[in-house]
Amino acid sequence: MIKNNGKFLYQAFINSYSQLFFSDNKVFAYLLLLSSFIDPYEGLSGVIGVVSAILFSYWIGLDRNSIKFGIYSFNALMVSLVMGITYNFNTHFVIVLICASILTVLICVVFHNIFYKYKIPVLSLPFLLSLWLVMLGLRTFDHIEMISRVYNAAELSSIGLWLAKTSEQINDSIPLFLAVYFKSIAAIFFQYNIITGIMVAIGLLIYSRIAFSLSLIGFSIGFMFYLYMVGTFTPLLYSYIGFNFILTAISLGGYFIIPSKRSFALVIIATPIIAIFISAFVTFLTPYQLPLYSLPFNVAIILFMMLLNSRVQIKGLDIVARQLYSPEKNLYHFNNRIERFKNDTYFHIHLPFYGEWFISQGFNGKHTHKEDWKFAWDFVVADEMQHTFRLPGTEVTDYYCYNLPVLAPSAGTVWNIVDGIEDNEVGDVDIHNNWGNTIIIKHGDFFFSKLSHLKKGSLKVKIGDYVQRGEIIATCGSSGRSPEPHIHFQLQTTPYIGSKTLLYPISYYMTKQNEQFQFHAFDYPKENETISRIMLTPLLADAFNFIPGVTLTYEITKEDNSKEMIKWEVFVDAWNQSYLYCKKTNSFAYFVNNGTLHYFTEFIGDRNSTLYHFYLAANKILLGYYDQLEVNDKLPIEGFYSGASKFIQDFIAPFYIYLKAGYVSKFVTVDDMMNPKEITIQSHARIKVGNMLLKDLTYDINIQKNKIQSFTINTKQGKQTAVCQD
């Protein structure tokens, strides 16, 4: 317990520093912590303030996740840093410092509760309000002395003298623009020397190439604006206002908004507005002798976020839905989800029949699928000669599809029914009862499916019945405008028999050509295709049915014959997301099983762990066996690439992504096609630059006894085999 609490408090402490730049990068946090000690009193004040805020938040019982990520303590850190360079460090000061940190937590919680419902970030508003209250209050405290700790030769130690001299030398040897940039970025730590600025800039570059680029762009626009509009950049050079441009650029360009060409353009638009805010707020605060600090940045971000939240059309400025504390991660994760799930729909619609059927008429068909009714399908059953009937074909009973079951395409409520219309003689049509016997099912608001030309008296449901996906609701007939038996199927927004059709995809289905199957996800079946529902294989469905609370135990045998035991437990989080958790490596692999596919959605943790390789190996598995069938998908590039290629990609990622990561799984062996007891799946995680293959990670998954009996990892580092111990 003590060890766990110690780790938790350490994470909260170090994240408080990285949160100043919207980061959770530990290396960056260490650099920020170190740079705060350029002024030892400031650094020490910061540590005291952060620890006080964390301990108070933990003691009072605030959300542990928010504490761990520094949400309640980074504002207290900023207050403490300012106090450290503003007041004389003594016992009285430390007492006030602790009180100020607790006050900041209180204000932070209030702001979070108010802003949460408007989807507006709190930012550093608690820091500003708390600091202003403290500064106003301390004017009457006799034992708290305000000082100005500006470096000069008379007050500095030997280290301080060296820092001051080195800072002056650097200042004199670099272009003025860079000198002002480094001083502005150092001002985020309320210091104003180039060495601090260089340290912070290096940390920013390590943390995020996109954030670093945005800091330069935001500052450059602000610098040029002051030079052009004011005629001088003196306000930037001798005050703490330059960092408002930097923080705004990082926030709008890549943290709250997915990095893109449009987000960069928004930064260019927002920067001059920041300059106007700076001039206006300085005028307002000067009579009260209160510092401006980050007020313009806060106001600008709140206004722009309220603007973006009020849009009725999303035009490329996509707000980050789940914060990953890195512009690169936000971008790569967003792009991967767009590529993987761009056609995914809220309601999953499946084919309304068993077995293989032929599409005799599709969209914009040559017979009846025209104009308002063009998005519909007519399904029949055909033999290998494309005949839809047995000889002689003069009776409806000669047709292969006649009287076959018709299934509910998705769960819903039976909303409308027509029954009692006789089947036509072959070749005849009933134009007075155009749709024949029909069932309309409501799946959601303004979303209905319609199945027509059903057999009289075969309807097994009535209005108001709730049906499950795949439930038999009728049989195929030839009623209405139907010269031969078939199923007419369409989606629509209204519950009426003659409603207009709606363009909407079929969630999952197979097409068959030359005895080869092809898997389709959220696609539109085409005329003359032979299609079928996904037929689940119990062996696969059971093997990938990870039930919450179950522990999976595997023995890992490595290339050198050394062995290791690993355990994964299945959990469901507060958002109803299922995941595998490895306690040993503190790794999480989030997954979805929708009854047709098992697929992983996200990995968090150690990318050298066996769980990560299993996440890659079983990234997308079809739960029905089809010989030699391949299932393809995209993988996020984050975690695959490193070195120069990733470094360069990060810089240009908002404009173009040339690094690719793909996935493919393939059924390779089965012991019995009809009733399999053993199936082997081979999968690949492939890394490319353009069309050039850089790396191919190969995995073999063996399914036996309704579980994943073993899987093999083949990498350049060697071969590892995991064998189930359950």
Q: Give the type of residue at 70.
A: G
Structure tokens at 47: 């540590």
Predicted local confidence at residue 143, as pLDDT? 80
**What's the rounded Cα separation, in Å, for the pair 121 and 81?**
22
* Burial class of residue 287 (count of CB atoms within 10 Å of its CB; 0-12, 13-18, 19+): exposed
Q: Is the peptide bond before 392 cis (omega within 30 degrees of 0)?
A: yes
3-state secondary structure 616-683: HHCCEEECCCCCCCEEEEECCCCCCCCCHHHHHHHHHCCCCCCEEEEEEEEEEEECCCCCCCEEEEEE
Q: What is the pLDDT of residue 24?
A: 84
Task: Give the Cα separation of 399 and 381 in Å (integer).
Answer: 8
Q: Residue 147 and residue 170: Cα distance in Å, rounded?
A: 27
Give the CA count within 13 Å in the CB-facing half-sphere of 370. 3
d(CA 530, CA 510): 8
How far is residue 32 from each of residues 137, 200, 629, measured CA to CA in Å? 29, 6, 52
Structure tokens at 544: 């990938």
* Token output for 562: 């050394």
CA distance 21 to 200: 10
pLDDT score of 183: 85
**pLDDT tens for residues 380-421?**
999 988 899 999 989 999 999 999 999 999 999 999 999 999
Please report, as a single letter, which amino acid is at residue 194.
I
Residue 1's pLDDT is 46
- CB atoms closer than 10 angstroms to residue 321: 10
User: Residue 102 in contact with residue 56, Cβ under 8 Å?
Assistant: yes
d(CA 713, CA 565): 16
C-beta separation of 204 from 215 below 8 A: yes
pLDDT at 151: 45
Q: In order of start, what are the domains of the chain with their CATH numbers?
A: 1-149 (1.10.3430.10), 152-207 (no CATH), 209-342 (1.10.3430.10), 356-532 (2.70.70.10), 538-724 (no CATH)
Closest CA to 133 of 83, 85, 201: 83
Collapsed DSSP state (helix, strand, coil) of residue 595 = coil
Burial class of residue 42, CB neighbours in 10 A (0-12, 13-18, 19+) = buried
Q: What is the pLDDT of residue 152?
A: 42
Gyration radius from the chain CA atoms? 33
SS3 letters across 173-185: HCCHHHHHHHHHH
Single-letter residue type at 565: M
Q: Do residues 338 and 148 lie in contact, with contact meaning Cβ atoms separated by under 8 Å?
A: no
Is the CB of residue 696 less than 8 Å from the CB of residue 686?
yes
Q: Residues near 506 by Cβ (< 8 Å), separated by ≥ 6?
A: 349, 350, 351, 520, 522, 523, 524, 525
3-state SS track over 302-342:
HHHHHHHHCCCCCCCCCECCCCCCCHHHHHHHHHHHHHHHC
* Residues sharing a CB contact under 8 Å with residue 152, sequence separation 6 or more, in sequence order: 164
428-474: pLDDT as tens digits: 988 899 999 999 999 999 999 999 999 999 999 999 999 999 999 99
Q: How far is CA 551 from CA 62, 260, 316, 588, in A?
A: 31, 42, 43, 14
| Helices and strands, number each (H, E), in the chain | 19, 24
DSSP 3-state of 240 = coil
3-state secondary structure 45-93: HHHHHHHHHHHHHHHHCCCHHHHHCCCCCHHHHHHHHHHHHHECCCHHH
Q: Quick count: other Cβ atoms within 10 Å of Cβ 147?
A: 11
C-alpha span between 399 and 417 (Å, rounded): 25
Whether the CB-CB separation of 200 and 219 falls below 8 Å is answered with no
Closest CA to 691 of 649, 656, 662: 662
The Cα 269–Cα 109 span in angstroms is: 32
> Is 488 within 8 Å of 378 (Cβ atoms)?
yes
Beta strands in 101-186 (DSSP E): none
Contact call for residues 108 and 60 (beta carbons, < 8 A): no
C-alpha span between 377 and 509 (Å, rounded)? 14
Residue 577 is given by DSSP the state -
Comparing C-alpha atoms, which of 513, 511, 505, 454 is closest to residue 478?
Answer: 454
Task: Give the predicted TM-score (pTM) of the model.
Answer: 0.83
* Nearest-angstrom CA–CA distance, 326 and 336: 15
Query: Looking at residue 235, what is its pLDDT?
Result: 60
**Residue 453, Cβ neighbours under 10 Å: how many?**
28
Query: C-alpha distances in angstroms, 625 versus 638, 671, 683?
Result: 31, 12, 14
Mean pLDDT per 10-residue interval, the chain, length 726 residues: 72 92 88 86 93 94 91 94 90 94 95 88 93 91 71 47 70 80 83 83 91 94 83 59 89 93 94 89 86 91 92 83 89 88 90 95 90 95 92 93 96 96 92 94 96 96 96 96 96 94 95 89 94 94 93 89 91 90 93 93 89 94 92 85 83 90 92 90 88 86 93 83 88
What are 669's two structure tokens?
Answer: 């062996």
Task: Please name which of 472, 469, 465 lies closest in space to residue 404, comparing C-alpha atoms.
Answer: 472
